[in-house]
Structure 1
């Protein structure tokens, strides 16, 4: 019943298009979340609903989103609680809804627009995570979404270490759920 209803209200676009759309859409979502902050929360919820209406792998996306988001949100909350980063709009908060929604978007993008990362050797996953994760956060700081009370270098080093460790975990989650899915449209191609 649930699956039948989802199929009736969803629109399928070709997988290759969805991959590119997912990647570009996440960049837009990131920018809106960082620049607009709290007022963008409704947009971010709507954007996630749109993702699930268009996604060719709704169940797998939901599982990945849940697990990756919990890890990412928990990590960021821990960093905020320890004053590694402070939300400019709400300095006493350890998490904001816009950042939680950004984590949900990132998680589903890992299964589509950033899926290529899961095919890289472990060392490259670590390298990509340790570079691009901190760049994203530092860019957010430069756009005044967060403050860095411990200074730029210390914070970037902390983020680098965290992203070096967590990126391969996020990508392993994606691989696990894709490989154990009964959805043939996302099964790895046999070589």
Structure 2
């Protein structure tokens, strides 16, 4: 439980660094995320492939959201700090999913969907992202996306076990 708490606090710290620091601190954020992965991931192929694959999946998802106009950032392309945040999430999920595996997916998926959507709404409140379609519609779309993403991650992580 102590490891889960420390890992969760570290991930939240990376989230705040990315969202509050945005472009001025994005290279520091990326460096810290890469250092976190290098120090904490086992020297095996699976964790590395997991982190790269999940980060790329998230980057593609947010790129689609950006192209669809669901999100707007200060630059026309997906910012580096958000891509670093996806890598941080992939790292966090590598450690978190085995712990969650013992719980019902009927609990995990909705909780993760809410948490994922809320993180974007919080980012909007902190001026890291603009949500042109408003909070309600954006939250509904993100809830669906994060629910599907979490179900996929649970399935994939089960295959790797």
TM-score by length of 1: 0.76
- Secondary structure of the structure 1 residue equivalent to 2:112: helix
Distance 1:167 1:115 in 2: 13
Unaligned runs of 5+ in 2: none
Higher helix share: 2
Contact 2:26-2:81 at 8 Å conserved across structures = yes
**What's the counterpart of residue 30 of structure 2?**
45
Structure 1: runs of 5 or more not aligned: 1-15, 180-191
* CA–CA distance in structure 2, aligned partners of residues 43 and 175 of structure 1: 33
Give 1:70 deviation, angstroms.
Answer: 1.4
Tell me whether 1:119 sits opposite 2:119 in the alignment: no
User: 2-side partners of 1:58 and 1:171: how far apart?
Assistant: 22
Q: Pick the structure with greater CA Rg.
A: 1
1:161 to partner: Cα distance: 0.7
Q: Secondary structure at the match of 1:119?
A: coil
Q: 2:8 is paired with a residue of what secondary structure?
A: helix
Cα deviation digits, residues 142-179 of structure 1 (max 9, x gap): 000000101111000000111111111122233333x1
Q: Distance in 2 between matches of 1:29 and 1:97?
A: 13
Distance 1:145 1:115 in 2: 31
Structure 2 contact 14–33 (Cα < 8 Å) conserved: no
More off after superposition, 117-126 vs 140-149: 117-126
* Preserved contact between residue 84 and residue 155 of structure 1 (Cα < 8 Å): yes
What is aligned with 2:85? 102
2:15 counterpart of 1:30: yes
Residue 156 (1) aligns with residue 139 (2)? yes
CA-based RMSD: 1.9
Once the 2 structures are TM-superposed, how far is the Cα of residue 113 of structure 1 from its aligned partner?
A: 4.5
Q: Does 1:75 align with 2:61?
A: yes
CA contact (8 A) 2:11 2:92 kept: yes
TM-score w.r.t. structure 2 length? 0.89
Q: CA deviation at 1:56?
A: 5.0
Q: Deviations over 1:24-48 (max 9, x none)?
A: 1110000110011012222222212
